[in-house]
Structure 1
Amino acid sequence: MAKVNDFEQAKDIQYGVGSKQRFPDSANTHYTFPSVDDLLSDADQIAEMVQHHMSYQKPRLLTLRNYFKGNNTTILTGKRRKEEHVADNRATHNFAKYVSQFVQGYMVGIPLKTTYPEETINEKLRDMNRANDADEHNSELILDQSIYGRAYEILYRSQDDQIKFTTLDAVSTFVVYDDTVEMLPIAGIRYMDNQFRDNETIVYVYTAKRIYIFKGNQNLENIKLDREQEHSFDGVPIIEYSNNKFRQGDFEDVLNLIDLYDSAQSDLANYSQDLNDAMLKIVGNLEIDAEEAKDMKEKNILLLRTEANSTGSSIQADAGYIYKQYDVAGSEAYKDRIANDIHMFTATPNMNDENFGGVQSGEAMKYKLFLLEQKRATKERLFKKSLRDRYRLINNIMRVAAEGEFDVNDLTITFTENLPENIAKEMEWFTGAGGRLSNETMLSMLTFIENPLEEIEKIEEEDKNSPLSQPMYDYEVAEQEEVTENE
């Protein structure tokens, strides 16, 4: 595996010098190895793989992060205008954040629900999810998926002997798969700089049975195994969540369009500023000196007193500004076209579109979000696949710790798209037609109720202990006791 320490050089190698391709294919490739034993047999192989990730993949991930944070690298770097005296505004527009946050809210704005048919296991999983704040955790994974095209989580056993899971930084984490058609994970790797020691890098390698900690210098030369420890998950505890087949972010393929919009808006701002600083042009022979001109400027007037020409006749004088004519209407149409293309290719709605707003039913909204629905279906399938891997590892360690066991295939994982729905109108039609719903069904329609059955049990318990349910007179108590004895 060749070591390439410069990202631009990596692009030149793959596409040829001068290529306009933003990222080479190597910037998003999977890492594969025959087996974990072969990988661990030589620490230099691990160092080479991490170095490849730093050189090829990390620049892409950092670029996507910068766009999400509004630091659009293309418009903010380099010199856009040659003249020193003209305006050089750099306007950035955070379409990237809009796209990712919209997708995040659409998919998990209503938290996903994970249920198991056996109540004992269901209660344990529910308590575990609450302890790990699973709703927030899943939301962060969806956001990382949208930004980077991939997200990572790690499972571990805490100091108080609890099962925990948290997200990992996608910029410095990757999973190594075997080279079979199944592409089974054989190791998870994350690396970081030692904040207490300059020029030292720490590499953590997680396998199905053990965790290996390597240390080396910044270039990972002379990398050595520092220590190792066991874990009981019986699987690689770092799980990758892919956004799609190509692990592409939701706004990654419109970065060039975002750059075009930034440039157009910056050019309009430069035009406005250049107009204020435009050069004054005066035509004609004038009786005016520098002090008079300065005084006129301060008083915001311009009095043009002409002098006679060589023949003794008067001449005309004129004044005006020299500036570049700008097609404002054409510029606005151009920017609108770019913005609409960004929304179209990211399958997100343009909230400034007059045809999108208004009071609409959930079904009408679904037709307008048809492309986003197709994207959501793909993201949901891949997320569920990795989510089952999480609970498979949880089941493994619960079995070892004698805390219970369950069949991961029996888990029900439910996503609910976050769309405005006119439930009141549907209920009005249903009840008007003589329909009736159970309490469990009605409670399940409330987004803030996590478990309808649990809520019904609480209601029954409150009713049972309510003063209104207690007998008011002694004879009622006697009648109840008599009924109990007869039973």
Structure 2
Amino acid sequence: MQVKTIKHRRFDEEANREYKIPVSFFNTIRNDPMSLYDTAYKFIRHHIDREVPRLKELMEYYQAQNEIKRWSGSPNPMNAHNQVASGFARYITNIRVGYFLGNDIQYKIVDDDGQDKTLADKIKELLKGYNDSSDTPYVDEMLKKDLSITGRAYDLVYVNEGETTLNLAKVDPTTVFVVYDDSIKARPLFAVRYYQTGVLDEQLQEQYEIYTDNALYRYHSDGGVPETNSPEQAVVFDGEEPLFFGRVPLTEYKNNDERTGDWEPELDQMDALDKAISTMANFQEDFNDAAMVITGKFADMTDPVYALDKNGNKIIGKDGKPIILEPAHPRVNSHNRMFYLKPYVMQTALNGERQIVAPSLQYVTKQYDSAGWSTYTNFLINEIHKYTNTPNVNDPNFASNASGVAMSYKLWGSDQERKIQESLYKCGLHARLSACLSYWDKINAIPGTNNVEDLVGMIDPNFDPNLPKNDDATAQLIQTLASVPGLNSLQTLREIEEKITGVTADAEQQRVDDEREHELRQASDYDNGATGIGKVFATGDRAEVDNQQQGD
């Protein structure tokens, strides 16, 4: 059977390859820095040559530097050549990021057996401090942005030198990759980050970092990425640092199994839309600068320029007429808004009859099917919205007063993708939390002897899609649920109220506890004669009355 291949690919066939090596091979090189770099460099070279071009082109689309910017346009240099790039990619990505992570991820600490509340409280305290100091909500949003654009994203858990506080950073996907083992589980073996340093374009050095589950290896080479076939001879090993994360601390997140962006499959439609809009822009500009065709004679003509002798007399030619150096021509000024024409007499060649030609003036333009253009562009816009599962807020049927069921159907496709992406994002969060908990366990920040995977299992990340709010409907729902005894816990009702008040259920519980404690303390003070009239009876002291003003 003949295998048919795609003739025209937008990206290299190897542009989205996942890197894997056998565990047995990795174990032979993991403790040898130069052998490890030699293997890593093969992937670096592939990453630079085959994968980075795709990532950079997708990022260019997000910045509205679309393929239309390379469009050659009309071969006539006098024609307009507009290159109008749409911002569709940015629009879709920003909608997806806001919908997915517009509300911060909430981490619930679940203690199933209820026996170790101290441990749960400690994890909660550590995690809150880490999220606050590392600004994880912002990092999560930037990770989702990279996922939407390139289909992959990376974060790094690290500790600054001389500190014990954990930090989190998003890493540029064009400068990093992870190498996995060749098992079905595909466990990460090591990760590579490479970047250039220097003063503008001078003193360039390429820096390399290789992360394993227990060490960080640093290297550098002068002049950027080495082109030699023997990279171990061009690179300098700078040193090794121990890591205490129990796993590779550089985590890869996937947007889907194919590692494609949210709008990547619709690039052809976007290019077609850009070309349609650019063509219309060119037509409008060419229409304004259309050529003028004039029939007849100009009433305002210049005098001919004759050849003169040294005395200033006209020189007569062989035909007995003065020699004309520059014939008379119409006085045409493109800035004039009015031209004066007159008829002229034309003699026919057949019988010598004379014919008067009436003057005329008109522009030469081509007709453009504006209705067809509008239909075509609207078709492309709707196709992009449909196949990227992005709601079209300009759709007249997408109304703010639509019922909840109608809005749910509009967002049905988005919710299907969101569910898949949420599951994959939780996998990345699991790896991040595993690195954090393993480190905290190593430095004895968590009491007792613990299994890190069990600790990770106690943390439940909750995603709350960011949708337009209907506070009235939510308030009515709370009243309905609260009116049925035993139907919902107070905690559940407070979690629903959070969507209106913005106060988390835990914070609301803390407020209630504080108010109750304050009321009990006041009642106790009164009963013990510390305040109020009770103090008079308890101590026998005279009650103090403020001095009244005269006349009161």
Q: Is TM (by shorter chain) over 0.5?
A: yes
Offset of residue 282 of structure 1: 1.8
- State the secondary structure of the residue aligned to 1:347: coil
Counterpart of 1:460? 513
Is 1:51 the counterpart of 2:39 in the alignment? no
Is 1:435 the counterpart of 2:483 in the alignment? yes
- State the secondary structure of the residue aligned to 1:25: coil
Q: 1:216 aligns with which of 216, 221, 243?
A: 221
Counterpart of 1:157? 159
Is 1:168 the counterpart of 2:158 in the alignment? no
Q: Which has the larger share of helix?
A: 1
- Matched to 1:62, the amino acid is K
Q: 1:105 aligns with which of 86, 93, 98?
A: 98
Counterpart of 1:32? 20
Mapping for residues 33-432 of structure 1, pairs under 5 Å? 33-35=21-23, 36-40=26-30, 41=32, 42=35, 43-72=37-66, 74-117=67-110, 118-158=120-160, 159-196=162-199, 198-217=203-222, 218-220=224-226, 221=228, 222-284=234-296, 287-289=299-301, 294=331, 298-310=335-347, 311-404=353-446, 407-428=455-476, 431=479
Q: 1:39 to 1:262 in 2, by over 3 A?
A: farther
Task: Check conservation: 2:220, 2:237, Cα contact below 8 A.
Answer: yes
Distance 1:475 1:438 in 2: 39
Q: 1:312 to 1:21 in 2, by over 3 A?
A: same
- Matched to 1:364, the amino acid is A
Distance 2:435 2:536 in 1: 54
Distance 2:197 2:254 in 1: 29
- Matched to 1:163, the amino acid is L
Offset of residue 452 of structure 1: 1.5
Q: 1:379 to 1:241 in 2, by over 3 A?
A: same
Larger mean Cα displacement after TM superposition, 235-244 or 77-86: 77-86
Distance 2:77 2:473 in 1: 63
Distance 1:380 1:433 in 2: 28
Task: Check conservation: 2:390, 2:414, Cα contact below 8 A.
Answer: yes
Task: Check conservation: 1:362, 1:419, Cα contact below 8 A.
Answer: no
Q: 1:261 to 1:188 in 2, by over 3 A?
A: same
Task: Check conservation: 1:232, 1:396, Cα contact below 8 A.
Answer: yes
- Matched to 1:37, the amino acid is N
Distance 1:433 1:229 in 2: 56
Distance 1:67 1:161 in 2: 40
Counterpart of 2:495? 444
Task: Check conservation: 1:111, 1:135, Cα contact below 8 A.
Answer: yes
- State the secondary structure of the residue aligned to 2:344: coil
Larger mean Cα displacement after TM superposition, 401-410 or 358-367: 358-367
Distance 1:433 1:240 in 2: 41
What are the superposed Cα offsets for residues 404-427 of structure 1, whole Å, 9 maximum, x if unpaired? 156211211111111224342353
What are the superposed Cα offsets for residues 306-338 of structure 1, whole Å, 9 maximum, x if unpaired? 022334553222221112221111111111111
- Matched to 1:145, the amino acid is L
Task: Check conservation: 1:362, 1:422, Cα contact below 8 A.
Answer: no
Task: Check conservation: 1:296, 1:302, Cα contact below 8 A.
Answer: no
Larger mean Cα displacement after TM superposition, 90-99 or 443-452: 443-452
Structure 1 unaligned blocks of 5 or more: 1-13, 480-487
- State the secondary structure of the residue aligned to 1:408: helix
Offset of residue 394 of structure 1: 1.2
- State the secondary structure of the residue aligned to 1:226: strand
Q: Which has the larger radius of gyration?
A: 2
Counterpart of 1:23? 11
- State the secondary structure of the residue aligned to 2:198: coil
RMSD: 2.8
- Matched to 2:215, the amino acid is R
Offset of residue 360 of structure 1: 2.9
Task: Check conservation: 1:47, 1:223, Cα contact below 8 A.
Answer: no
Q: 1:175 to 1:144 in 2, by over 3 A?
A: same
Offset of residue 126 of structure 1: 1.5
Offset of residue 301 of structure 1: 1.8
- Matched to 2:49, the amino acid is S
Counterpart of 1:484? none
Distance 2:217 2:482 in 1: 65
Is 1:475 the counterpart of 2:537 in the alignment? no
Distance 1:70 1:103 in 2: 17
Distance 1:38 1:340 in 2: 54
Offset of residue 278 of structure 1: 0.9
Offset of residue 127 of structure 1: 1.9
Q: 1:53 to 1:438 in 2, by over 3 A?
A: same
What are the superposed Cα offsets for residues 118-140 of structure 1, whole Å, 9 maximum, x if unpaired? 23322221222111112111111
Task: Check conservation: 1:113, 1:450, Cα contact below 8 A.
Answer: no
Offset of residue 39 of structure 1: 5.0
- Matched to 1:338, the amino acid is L
Task: Check conservation: 1:284, 1:315, Cα contact below 8 A.
Answer: yes
* TM-score for the superposition, normalised by structure 1: 0.88
- State the secondary structure of the residue aligned to 1:402: coil
Counterpart of 1:11? none
Q: 1:67 to 1:20 in 2, by over 3 A?
A: same
Offset of residue 389 of structure 1: 1.1
Task: Check conservation: 2:214, 2:247, Cα contact below 8 A.
Answer: yes
Distance 1:246 1:411 in 2: 28
Q: What is the total number of aligned residue pairs between the two structures?
A: 464
Larger mean Cα displacement after TM superposition, 107-116 or 277-286: 277-286
Distance 1:342 1:243 in 2: 19
Q: 1:206 to 1:430 in 2, by over 3 A?
A: closer
